Each structure stands twice: as structure tokens, then as C-alpha cells.
Structure 1
Amino acid sequence: MSDEQERTEQPTARRLSKAREDGQVARSTELPAAAIVIGSLLILLLLGGWMVNHLSAVFAHGFVFDRKTLDRPQLLPTVFGGQLGEAFTLILPILLFTLVAAIAASGMTGGYLFSLKAAAPKASKLNPVAGLKRMFGTHALVELSKALLKFTLVTTVLWLSVASHMDTLINLGRMGLEPAMQAAGSMIAQSALWIALSLAAIALIDVPYQKHAFNKRMRMTKQEIKDEFKDMEGRPEVKAQIRRRQREMANQRMIQRIQDADVVITNPEHFAVALEYDPSGDGAPVLVAKGTDHMAARIREEAGLHGVHIFEAPPLARALYFTTDLEKQVPEELYHAVAQVIAYVFSLEAKTPGQSGRAKPRVQLPASMLFDAAGQRVSTARASA
């Protein structure tokens, strides 16, 4: 199997970015050509009469010389230069419009790109074998077919245009100067319009083809994708970005789980843990979210949004934070303390208006479950702070 047959995978963003740095983008030469012709035709249709009249006046004035110019022939270059400047000023709108149209159309397929790498000399371009492959390869065959198609289409359009105005062409010699000029101008305008439309049709075909051909050239083998992934995975900045993204996704999932919690136990400010308990099950309460400082504030805020009870118990909050992982059951040593809190919360939910609520429990922890803010086990006196 050839290398071309093996390139079945779509190009990665990194490959496309690298190709762009090297000056390789999808590019259609037919679109700027069509844009220039159509733009020039539009300018001529809008300003053609005004331009012709003023150019005629400039050329007519060029054949009139005053006495000073006749006596001093050295002034003729200055006079002719001034007339050329006036003529250039008259055709300047066409030049500017075609320039803008060419630049705008060039960036419509692959965007605007300036790359010194594309202009730099390459040894591969001097290789005669590679040159022969380019001359007789698929790309060269496609370009030849496009050129023949364009020539055939434009020739056909011109022939049909001339054939449809044959009677007018024959009668031009019998017309006066002004009617003949008007008839000739009308025929030229119609022919130019049909040629412009034919070039536009070619561009509409060429643009999607160039994008498809570029995407095909950029395709990768499965091994290239694996190698690229390994290379990117080994870069420290990529690893850090992946870890950061993973943390963000994990935190987002954790925040979403708070709405299922039954109680959030706080420090009250530096620690917060959310517990979920299913009374119908046999398992212990499960820790669905935990965090410190900024994340603790987010947990408390999310709990407030979903009506989850917040219970302030600093030693228990620290013990749960340092001993229990996400989506894990609380340790057996904390069963009694957690049960007191959950029973209190459930009693608040079941309380009817006017009924006295259950007293808030004073949570007591085993000595082995007492931690400070740094996660170090401490004595009972220090833990109560």
C-alpha cells in the first residue's frame, strides 16, 4: 500500500497550523481573476461614459499647442507628461478597484497569509526528479484541464457573442460614427459580461476543488497522528494544559453534583464538604463535593442556589475533607458524627409550621479524626479552634 493510500486520517489542527506557517493554504487563482474582470466591468459600466468623454478631451487637448510651446520644443515632454498624468488619474478608479478586488478575493479561500518560508529557496525545488513529478503529476494534469476548460469556455462565449451580433457587425460600415461607436460599445459590453459570468462559473467550481485538494494533501497516516500526539503529550506546557483542563472538568462535574447533596458541612469559610445520603439504601453517606477557600465558597454558593442545608462544624468539615475522596463513603469512624448532622437536617425538612425543631447537635469526633487546617492530626484542644 502506498503512502498516499495510507493517508486516510483528517489533518489535525497542529498540522494545519504548521502548514500555514510554511505558507501552505488552500488557494484558487481563478477567483481573483474572475473578481478582477467582474470588478473592471462594473466600473466601466458605471463610469465608462464619463471616462471616455474625459479621455477624449485629454487626447484632443494633446493635439493643440499654444505659441509658447511651439517656440520652445523643450517644453513638449512636460506637456505630454501632464497629459499622461491626467489620463492616469482618469483610469485610476479601475486600477484601485481591481487591486482591492484581487486582494479581497485572494483571502476568501485560504485567508490572508504572509510567510517568508514560502518565498525562501528550497533544495527540493531544484531536484529534477521532483520537478518531473510536478510537471507530469496529478496536480499538473488538473491545472492543464482547467486551462483547457477556461480557454474552451471563453472561446465559445466569444464565438456565440460574435455570431449573435453578426448582422450588426456587417452593418457597422454603413452607420455613422456615433451610432457605430454606440453599437460597438454595446456589443463589447455584452461580450465582456458573458465572459465575466463564464469566469465566475469557473471560479465557483475551482474554489471547492482547491479546498478539497488541499485537505487531501494535508491528510495524515495513523502513525503520523500517533507520533504527533506523543510529541505534544511530552511537552510540559501541553501536559499542564491537559491537567488544567482535567481539573476544570472535574470541578464542573463536582459542582453539578451539589444539587443532589443533602447537607454541606463547613469550616465555616476555609473548608466545605457536601454529603449525599440515601435513607432507603444500606450504604453510608457519600461525599459528592469538597473544597477549600475559593472552591469552598463556590460549594456554599451552589448549595444556596439549590436549597441544600449548610451545617457549620469545623472539626467534622476538616476530618471529611482530609479522609474522604470524592464519590466515596465517609469513614466508619465518622459514622456517628455524620449521622447526627444528617438526622438534624432531615428533622428540619420534616418540621411543620409551628412545631419546635430539633436542637442542633454538638458533634464529637474520635481523637484519631481531629485535623488542623494543614491536614495534620492534632489534640482535642487544638481541633476545637
Structure 2
Amino acid sequence: MSEEQDKESKTEEASEKKISDAVEKGNVPFSREAALFASLLGILAILTFFVTAPVRLLTADLSRLIDDPAGFPISTGNDAVSILWGALGGAGRFLMPMVIVLMLAGLVASGFQNVPALVAERIRPQWSRVSPSAGFKRIFGTQGHIEFGKALFKLFAIGIVAALVLYAQEHEVVNAMFTDPLRLPSVLLALAMRLVATVCVVTIGLVAADIVWSRVSWKTNLRMTKQEVKDEFKQAEGDPMVKARIRAVARERARQRMMNAVPKATVVIANPTHYAVALQYDRQTGGAPLVVAKGVDLIALKIREIAERHGVPVIEDRPLARALFAAVEVDQWIPQDFYRPVAKILHYIYARPGHGAK
């Protein structure tokens, strides 16, 4: 009951992060029917291209065995060993192409569904894989019912197809029993090819449906609750409260740095109560004046207070103060548009009696 409620609460589509995390852990959509279908195609290719020549060799060996069984001497142990090695070599030559083709078919089936990747998580020992309760849930759960239904469909489909193919080839099969035994392998090969090809055609629909279902089921299982979406957003973007605290600390540090720079300023241009911009100018090096502090309202009053305490001239110029505050940031040189009005203020300050070359 709790699992059903949990699934009902997962109403949000999986985020990109959750999908990427699932893929990294090896949790990807995979259709077993596609792998089985690839194996059937591999078997069909083996029967078509790789079995004809070995069957002929097998037929020749059988004919030799049937016509002259005494021609295989096994009087000593070495003779028996040589016959055994010969049989193993023939079996190896017969089976090796089949093994390679089936391996390639499996790799192609996996690569067609997902990008191949080595995932250590898939081979890491986990209790859930051997747990009896987890196995019981897998067998008797929704996925287990679906797999059971597919197995029944395949059993009935393949059984009906096999019966129809055998019924269609009834005369050839019966006649092969009364003809030369050497023709029996070729008859069985042709019958197997027809049977496998027919099964492949019949199961195409099941394979396509299973591929679609595997991806839909995978996305459904990755759905998230609204709380999970919020938690993931907090992890990705940071807790809003923490971010606000960080911004507040950064602003406080920047404000303190500005206030420490005000005593070194050359002049403070201010609106009487609302704006204040502190400029620093070095007559020895020249260049443009540098904005070392600025503020509005209480901060502007604090800048004026510090400037007056340290003997920094405060010049009231409402338009210029507003324009400088809006156009220039702290630690930036003033633009050329402000050179003339600021130069007039600096000339006035330096022309005052008792003002040193600050």
C-alpha cells in the first residue's frame, strides 16, 4: 500500500540531474526481448552463412563412420587421444563462428538501446539482488506480471509457429526418414532456418512493444515528488537562506572596504542628504579620478561623516552626484563625460589655501 501511495505522489517528470545520475549508476532502459530478438537474428545468420560448410563436413564424417567404422583405429591410448582431439578441433571450428556471431548480436542489441559504458555499480555486490523478499517482490510485482505475460505470449506464439512450420514440412520430414541418412542434416538445417525466420517475423511486434514499454516504465520509475524537486533545486542552486546570508556578508564586507577607503579620498561629491560619491585622484601620476566609495541615504551620510572627520573636502553638487552614482561603480575610473565637471571641482580644491598635494 505504501509503495502505491509513493508512486502516486511522484507526479513530476525526472530532472536532467536525476536522469544523468541514474545513467551513471547503470540504471538505463533495457529491453530483454530486443536482446533475445538479436540472438534469434544471430542464430538465423549462423544457420544461413556458417552452418552449411560444417554440415557438409559432418555429413562426410558420418558417411565415413557409417561406411567404414573399422577405419578408426583405437588400439592404443594415443589413438583414442588423437580421435578425441580431432573431435574437439572439429567442434571448435563448428562452434567458434556461432559464439562470435552471438556475442556481436548481443553487443549490437545493447548498443542500439543505450550507449555502451562500463558501470562498476552494476557489478557491486548488493543485498537486494539476493534478498528473498526483494526477489519475491520482483516475481509477484507489476514487473513480474508483465514478464510472465510476455513469456506466455512467446510460448504460445512460438508453439503455434513451430506447429504450422512442421505441418507445412510434414511430407519432407517424413520422406527424410526413409531416404539416405546423409540427406538428413541438410533437411534439418533447412527446417531450422524456416522455423527461426518465422519466429523472428512473429516476434517483431513484441520486440517493438517491449522497447517502448521499457523506456516508458523507466521514465515512470524515475518520476519525482514535488518535495524531491525542491530538494534537488536547493542542492543545485543552494539554500536560499544560505545564499541570502552570503550576499549579506559580501555586501557588508564591500561596505566596510568602501568606508576604509573614504579617508584616502581626494573629494566627496554629494547631494546634501541622499547621494555621496568619494573620488581619489593622484596629481603625480595623473589619469582619471577613481571612485573609491559611493552610497545613498544612510550610507551617503556615513561617507560624509567619515570624510569630514578626516578632513576630506565634501562638495555638494546634486546633478553631478546623482550622475556619478548611476554611471560609475566602485573601483572604476570615471568616464570622459565627467572629466570637465570633476576637473573644475579638483581645481577648486587644489586652489584652496593650505591644501597639500594629496
Alpha carbons 1:40, 1:98 under 8 Å: kept: yes
Q: Distance in 2 between matches of 1:207 and 1:13?
A: 21
Alpha carbons 1:34, 1:203 under 8 Å: kept: yes
Unaligned runs of 5+ in 2: 244-286, 295-317, 324-336, 352-358
Partner of 2:138: 134
Partner of 2:27: 24
Cα displacement (A) at 1:213: 0.7
Q: Distance in 1 between matches of 2:96 and 2:61?
A: 15
**Please, what is the CA RMSD of the aligned residues?**
4.0
SS at match of 1:204: helix
Partner of 1:49: 52
Higher relative contact order (CA 8 A, sep 6+): 2
Q: Which moved more, 1:50-59 or 1:25-34?
A: 50-59
Q: Which moved more, 1:180-189 or 1:15-24?
A: 180-189
Partner of 2:248: none
Partner of 1:84: 88
Counterparts of 1:118-197 in structure 2 under 5 Å? 118-125=122-129, 128-177=132-181, 182-197=186-201
Q: Deviations over 1:210-260 (max 9, x none)?
A: 11111111111111011111122239xxx9xxxxxxxxxxxxxxxxxxxxx
Q: Which one of the candidate residues 90, 97, 103 is aligned to 1:93?
A: 97
Partner of 1:366: 342
Cα displacement (A) at 1:209: 0.8
Alpha carbons 2:19, 2:222 under 8 Å: kept: yes
Counterparts of 1:295-310 in structure 2 under 5 Å? none
Cα displacement (A) at 1:90: 3.1
Cα displacement (A) at 1:193: 0.8
Q: Distance in 1 between matches of 2:74 and 2:108?
A: 49
Q: Distance in 2 between matches of 1:5 and 1:151?
A: 34
Amino acid paired to 2:23:
R
Q: Deviations over 1:53-94 (max 9, x none)?
A: 233345667777879x65533331233113311331233112
Number of matched pairs = 266
Q: Answer yes or no: is 1:8 the counterpart of 2:8.
A: no
Q: Which one of the candidate residues 210, 216, 228 is aligned to 1:212?
A: 216
Alpha carbons 1:333, 1:369 under 8 Å: kept: no
Q: Deviations over 1:314-367 (max 9, x none)?
A: 749x78xx99xxxxxxx943999xxxxxxxxxxxxxxxxxxxxxxxx9962424
Larger Rg: 2
Q: Which moved more, 1:56-65 or 1:137-146?
A: 56-65
SS at match of 1:366: helix
Q: 1:61 to 1:79 in 2, by over 3 A?
A: farther
Cα displacement (A) at 1:10: 1.3
Partner of 2:43: 40
Q: Deviations over 1:266-325 (max 9, x none)?
A: xxxxxxxxxxxxxxxxxxxxxxxxxxxxxxxxxxxxxxxxxxxxxxxx749x78xx99xx
Q: Which one of the candidate residues 333, 336, 343 is aligned to 2:320?
A: 333
Counterparts of 1:284-363 in structure 2 under 5 Å? 315=288, 332-333=319-320
Amino acid paired to 2:342:
P
Amino acid paired to 1:45:
T
Alpha carbons 1:8, 1:221 under 8 Å: kept: yes
Q: Which moved more, 1:146-155 or 1:186-195?
A: 186-195
Unaligned runs of 5+ in 1: 240-313, 324-330, 337-360, 371-377, 381-385
Q: 1:128 to 1:82 in 2, by over 3 A?
A: closer
Aligned-residue sequence identity (percent) comes to: 24
SS at match of 2:56: helix
Alpha carbons 1:32, 1:102 under 8 Å: kept: yes
Amino acid paired to 1:333:
L
